[in-house]
Structure 1
């Protein structure tokens, strides 16, 4: 019985480590995409209205990225890149 508990405990601990590492790894893509969008923004020639849209999308992307919602963050950043023609 003690062996079963020990094996189960080790399995749970290993599973938690895998989930934690996957969650940490998932945060990197929105960070990378944000970096790329900011680089594109520095050279973009945009009207004031388009720059306001890009800045709004960037703020929304940062909020979602900080909440580990990479999918929505990446969507906002992709929309910003479209406005910039990238």
Structure 2
């Protein structure tokens, strides 16, 4: 009976592990980019802030294209912060 319980517990861990790692994965960068562009359209920025946001967006798109969603999302979040979002 102990072996059966141990096998069940190990099986549950093996099934749950991919689910847990998927939940911890960053959001798709395409979604963050879409939100950034929508926010850009609704906010008036100074020339300096617009340049900063554009630079961060370009770097984020580059990271997104390289399948580095975490860094892309971080860059998009920095741009959103500049816009006050």
TM-score (norm 2): 0.68
Stretches of structure 2 that go unaligned for 5 or more consecutive residues are 1-21
Answer whether contact 1:27 1:65 (CA < 8 A) is retained: no
RMSD across aligned positions (CA): 1.9
Stretches of structure 1 that go unaligned for 5 or more consecutive residues are 1-21
User: Which has the larger share of helix?
Assistant: 1
Distance in 2 separating the partners of 1:47 and 1:79: 16
Distance in 2 separating the partners of 1:58 and 1:70: 13
What per-residue deviation string (whole Å, max 9, x for no partner) do you get for residues 14-52 of structure 1? xxxxxxxx8xxx797100000000000001111000000
1:48 counterpart = 2:47: yes
Tell me what 1:77 maps to: 76
Match of 2:28, SS?
helix
Tell me what 1:19 maps to: none
Distance in 1 separating the partners of 2:71 and 2:26: 12
1:33 counterpart = 2:36: no
Tell me what 1:67 maps to: 66
TM-score (norm 1): 0.67
Moved runs in structure 1, 4+ residues, more than 3 A? none
